[in-house]
A and B are shown apart, each in its own frame.
Chain A
Amino acid sequence: MTQTPSYIAWTRDQMAARIANDIEDGAVVNIGIGMPELVANHLSPNKEILLHSENGILGMGPKPAADAVDPDLINAGKQPVTLLDGGAFFDHSLSFAMMRGGHLDIAILGAFQVAENGDIANWSTGKPGAIPAVGGAMDLAVGARQVFVMMEHLTKDGQSKLVHRCTYPLTGLGCVTRVYTDLAVLDVTADGFAVRELCPGLTLEALAALSGLALTATSHPGV
């Protein structure tokens, strides 16, 4: 297991581009704080994708020019944004009705762990002394029709973030539908993780060994 890897992991931008490519024209999407924010840079201008922000925006646009920043127009990460033509503002109750009520097509979340039964842990490592914060993550996890997770496949010390069962505090049960890592794209199925695509040079067997999990291939083989 200590041999030099023979594969070439995808960069974060390559991961983001894959996710953006899989979002259909007309989809309503909530992009979570952190790594998923990169996805916004890769959305095709040929598709109309409506971005939702939990603090009351549908049709969120890109970052404004420095001289056009409006402190009353921010995203969930409290960063200045813009509103597209056709966009709308609303209060928090309606915003979370959109999330919890199954009205968003896709939520893209970062995660500490995703389990093969679709459980996700992304809000707390449970470390003593840490300040817990959850925000809207649990509402997105239970409410969006599809939950995509974008994360590194392995922790810094080589532990798989794809797991049999999560050991960190859970965000939601059985809700993740697909995982995009730097090594692979995987669907969550009734039989566990099914690999859609592998990074260059990686085999299904090698990924299964790195993940410590039994993996299957989907009927949609990638590159």
Chain B
Amino acid sequence: MLSKVRTSALEALADVADGATVMVGGFGNAGMPMELVDALIEQGSRDLTIVSNNAGNGTTGVAALLAAGRVRKVVCSFPRQSDSFVFDELYRAGKVELELVPQGNLVERIRAAGAGIGGFFTPTGYGTPLAEGKETRVIDGKGYVLEYPIHADVALIKGRLADRWGNMVFRKTARNFGPIMASAAKVSVAQVEEIVELGTLDPETIALPGIFVSRVVAVGKSARAAA
């Protein structure tokens, strides 16, 4: 029987190694897998590279992981927020490395990893400081930058419902990076509100087919998502 269901977030993350590259879904707090990030903090792996759109808000989630001193490097598009003080302080103190990636290049590099693409030419960033040192090409008169895929050891994502085969549906703008990141990691772990019986999800609305999901954990309706 194929079942990707795990009984707890900690069990689902037990094998995350020191030095791992971990993708964390979410845009702001929408789609941020808070319970999984909490479990990663408890699990104890260190020297992590975090790939996420932002670099943490307030004192929870990725910010808490940063504050615990467990992150070596952040790959993201928009670290600066009104409440990104944890990242800001570590960055200014030289305690965390930053790779700033334009948002569309970030998601496309992740998509490329999941789709087996070895690199791609994108117009985004051409001629700007974020393309410095990168290979460029002019195609049909337009400038492009060569960007490479971003692979991960682990992806942490949040959906609304899953079945035991890992098929998932999402909710509103909480989908964002989730389905893409799941495809780009060796092990993708999803937290959902509820795990439902096979056949319950409308196959026409499954936004992430289970082939991209390694493990699912039901965490109930996250009260903290609204924080």
Contact = CB atoms under 8 A, between A and B. Distances in A.
B118 interface: no
A89 interface: yes
Nearest to B207: A91
Contacts of B98: 132
A99 B101 CA distance: 16
Please classify the interface of chain A as helix (H, G, I), strand (E, B), loop, or mixed, using the class held by over half of its residues: loop
B29 A71 contact: yes
Interface in A131-156: 131-139, 142-143
Given A72-B172, A92-B180, A55 B30 contact: yes
B122 A100 contact: yes
A142 B175 contact: no
B77 A133 contact: yes
A169 B104 CA distance: 18
Contact of A73 (B79, B101, B104, B172): B172
Interface string B98-116: 1011111101100100000
A139 B84 contact: no
B196 to A, nearest CB: 18
Contacts of A142: 123-124, 126
B58 to A, nearest CB: 12
Contact of B175 (A89, A99, A139): A89
Contacts of B177: 91-92
Contacts of A90: 175
Interface stretch (A21-29, A105-113, A170-178): A170-178
Contact of B176 (A55, A138, A170, A172): A55
A73 to B, nearest CB: 5
Given A72-B172, A73-B173, A90-B175, A131 B91 contact: yes
A129 B176 contact: no
B124 A74 contact: no
A96 B103 contact: yes
Contact of B226 (A71, A89, A92): A71
Given A56-B173, A93-B111, A74 B103 contact: no
Nearest 5 pairs of A and B residues by beta carbon:
A139-B104, A96-B104, A133-B80, A78-B28, A138-B102
Interface of A: 53-57, 70-74, 78, 83, 89-93, 96, 99-100, 124, 129, 131-139, 142-143, 169-173
Given A70-B172, A71-B226, 17 more contacts: A56-B176, A73-B172, A73-B173, A74-B30, A91-B179, A93-B179, A96-B108, A131-B79, A131-B80, A131-B92, A133-B77, A133-B78, A133-B80, A136-B102, A138-B130, A143-B124, A173-B127
Interface of B: 27-31, 77-81, 84, 87-88, 91-92, 98, 100-105, 107-108, 111, 122-130, 143, 170-180, 207, 225-226
9 contacts: A54-B103, A71-B225, A91-B175, A99-B104, A132-B80, A138-B102, A138-B128, A142-B123, A173-B128
